[in-house]
Amino acid sequence: MVNLKEQIDTRRTFAIISHPDAGKTTITEQMLLLGGVVRSAGTVKGRKGNFAKSDWMEIEQKRGISVTSSVLQFDYDGKRINILDTPGHEDFSEDTYRTLMAVDSVIMVVDSAKGIEPQTRKLFEIVKERHIPIFTFFNKLDRDGRPAMDLLDELEDTLGVATYPMNWPIGSGQVLSGLFDIYHQQVEVYRPANAAGRFLPLNAAGNDLVDANPIQQTPVWEEARDEVELLQDAGNKFDEKAVLEGELTPVFFGSALAGFGLETFLQTYLKFAPAPGAKETTDDQLIEPDQTDFSGFVFKIQANMNPNHRDRIAFVRVVSGEFERGMDVTLKRTGKKIRLSNVTQFMADSRENVENAVPGDIIGVYDTGNFQIGDTIYQGKKMIEFKELPTFTPELFMHVRAKNVLKQKSFHKGVTQLVQEGTIQMYTAWDSGDYILGAVGQLQFEVFQFRMANEYNSEVILEPMGSKIARWVNEDDLDPKMASSRNLLVRDRAENPVFLFENMFAERWFNDKYPDVQLEQKL
Ligand code: GDP
Which residue minimizes the CA distance to atom 19 of ligand 1?
23
Report CA(292)–ligand 1 centroid distance (Å): 43
Residue 47 one-letter amino acid: R
pLDDT, residue 130, reads 85
State residue 82 phi and psi, 5-degree precision.
-115, 110
- Pocket perturbation via mutation, ligand 1, pick of 54, 257, 260, 263 by most ligand atoms within 8 A of CB: 257
Q: Is the CB of 261 under 6 A from ligand 1?
A: no
Could you tell me if 187 and 178 are in contact, meaning their C-beta atoms sit under 8 angstroms apart?
yes
pLDDT, residue 18, reads 83
Mean pLDDT by 10 residues, the chain (523 residues): 90 90 88 79 40 45 48 90 75 76 94 85 80 96 95 92 96 95 93 80 90 92 95 93 95 95 95 96 96 95 64 89 94 95 73 76 88 93 90 88 90 90 89 92 82 89 93 92 92 93 94 93 76
CA–CA separation, 172 vs 9, rounded Å?
Answer: 37
Q: Is the CB of 255 under 6 A from ligand 1?
A: yes
Could you tell me if 111 and 118 are in contact, meaning their C-beta atoms sit under 8 angstroms apart?
no
Give the residue from 151, 137, 79, 76 showing the smallest Cα distance to 106: 137
Residues of the chain with CATH 3.40.50.300: 11-68+85-272, 279-378
Report CA(125)–ligand 1 centroid distance (Å): 25
Q: Is the CB of 28 under 6 A from ligand 1?
A: no
- Length of the chain in residues, anyone? 523
Give the residue from 28, 215, 5, 175 showing the smallest Cα distance to 109: 28
CATH superfamily label, 11-68+85-272: P-loop containing nucleotide triphosphate hydrolases (3.40.50.300)
CA–CA separation, 257 vs 139, rounded Å?
Answer: 9
Fold of 279-378: Rossmann fold (3.40.50)
Binding residues for GTP: 18-25, 85-89, 139-142
Report CA(145)–ligand 1 centroid distance (Å): 14
Look at domain 396-520 and name its CATH class.
alpha beta
| Residues facing residue 105 across a β-bridge | 14
- Pocket perturbation via mutation, ligand 1, pick of 19, 21, 143 by most ligand atoms within 8 A of CB: 21
Residues of the chain with CATH 3.30.70.3280: 396-520
Q: Is the CB of 145 under 6 A from ligand 1?
A: no
Q: Is the CB of 30 under 6 A from ligand 1?
A: no
- Pocket perturbation via mutation, ligand 1, pick of 16, 17, 26 by most ligand atoms within 8 A of CB: 26
CA–CA separation, 489 vs 294, rounded Å?
Answer: 43
The distance between the two most distant Cα atoms of the chain, rounded to a whole number of Å, is 81
Q: 3-state DSSP call for residue 240?
A: helix
pLDDT, residue 167, reads 96
CA distances from 150 to 147, 172, 247, 389 (A): 5, 14, 20, 36
Q: Is the CB of 139 under 6 A from ligand 1?
A: yes
Report CA(165)–ligand 1 centroid distance (Å): 22
Q: Is the CB of 26 under 6 A from ligand 1?
A: yes
Which residue minimizes the CA distance to atom 28 of ligand 1?
257
Q: Is the CB of 143 under 6 A from ligand 1?
A: yes
Which residue minimizes the CA distance to atom 17 of ligand 1?
23
Report CA(191)–ligand 1 centroid distance (Å): 19
Which residue minimizes the CA distance to atom 9 of ligand 1?
23
Report CA(337)–ligand 1 centroid distance (Å): 46
| Residues facing residue 484 across a β-bridge | 487
What ligand 1 atom has the least distance to the C-alpha of 139? 23
Binding residues: 18-25, 85-89, 139-142
